[in-house]
A and B are shown apart, each in its own frame.
Chain A
Amino acid sequence: QSALTQPASVSGSPGQSITISCTGTSSDVGGYKYVSWYQQHPGKVPKIMIYEVSNRPSGVSNRFSGSKSGNTASLTISGLQAEDEADYYCSSYTSSGTLVFGTGTKVTVL
């Protein structure tokens, strides 16, 4: 199972909005609603930000939103803040009965 494809890096200025893409196939992202997004700060444990494509766990800022179109899922961060600088990973259930993570995206706040 190949990793889902994410851009290596995305950057934006404070207050701006950025979008991270996560591209898979019809056998993973495109075929299921089970797409999640995780945030990981350096040296820290991953934290779930979005689950089932667009749902936000309690306690996660509403500046984070998720969506999906075809085989590509997206995470949008609006009103970018310095604390949003981190690595972000998508993940999806697959038709093989496994899970797969994305390649990861480093978000830089300029």
Chain B
Amino acid sequence: EAQLLESGGGLVQPGGSLRLSCAASGFTFSSFAMSWVRQAPGKGLEWVSAISGNGGATYYGDSVKGRFTISRDNSQNTLHLLLTSLRAEDTAVYYCAKGRPWFGDNYFDCWGQGTLVTVS
């Protein structure tokens, strides 16, 4: 059974940085694109970023482009998201989600429990 476990969230000041991680298990990690999706308190889902299975292609939403960097370590079955130049509006629960081999086929069939990032 596929499982995802995020870590790294916390309280950070505006302008600060944070690195989120997502440990994957139960599936062939390198075969699937992975995404980060966030949800501000009481708000809807927002897709943040995605990375291809081999890490060669990365994709970002307009609101985070140039500030966030997605990466993966297939030898460690781990996904990362580096958040920099953080703003109050980045406050949210950040979920990692398992996709399909191609990220555009947004079939997120496994989600982590989420990690809360608070910018204040």
Contacts and interface: CB of A to CB of B under 8 A. Distances in A.
B45 A104 contact: yes
Given A45-B95, A46-B111, A48-B109, A104 B44 contact: yes
Interface size class of B (residues with CB under 8 A): 20 to 34
A contact face: mostly helix, strand, loop, or mixed:
strand
A75 B104 CA distance: 20
A93 B104 CA distance: 5
A73 to B, nearest CB: 12
Contacts of B103: 99
B45 A98 contact: no
B108 A36 contact: yes
Given A1-B62, A34-B104, A38-B108, A101 B35 contact: no
B44 A3 contact: yes
Contact of B45 (A1, A32, A34, A89): A89
B31 interface: no
Interface residues of A, number: 27
B60 interface: yes
B25 interface: no
A101 B109 CA distance: 16
Interface of A: 1, 3, 32, 34, 36, 38, 40, 45-48, 51-52, 57, 87, 89, 91-93, 97-104
Interface of B: 35, 37, 44-47, 50, 59-62, 95, 103-109, 111-114
19 contacts: A1-B61, A36-B106, A36-B107, A38-B45, A38-B108, A45-B111, A45-B114, A46-B37, A46-B111, A47-B111, A51-B105, A52-B105, A91-B47, A93-B106, A98-B62, A99-B104, A101-B44, A101-B45, A101-B47
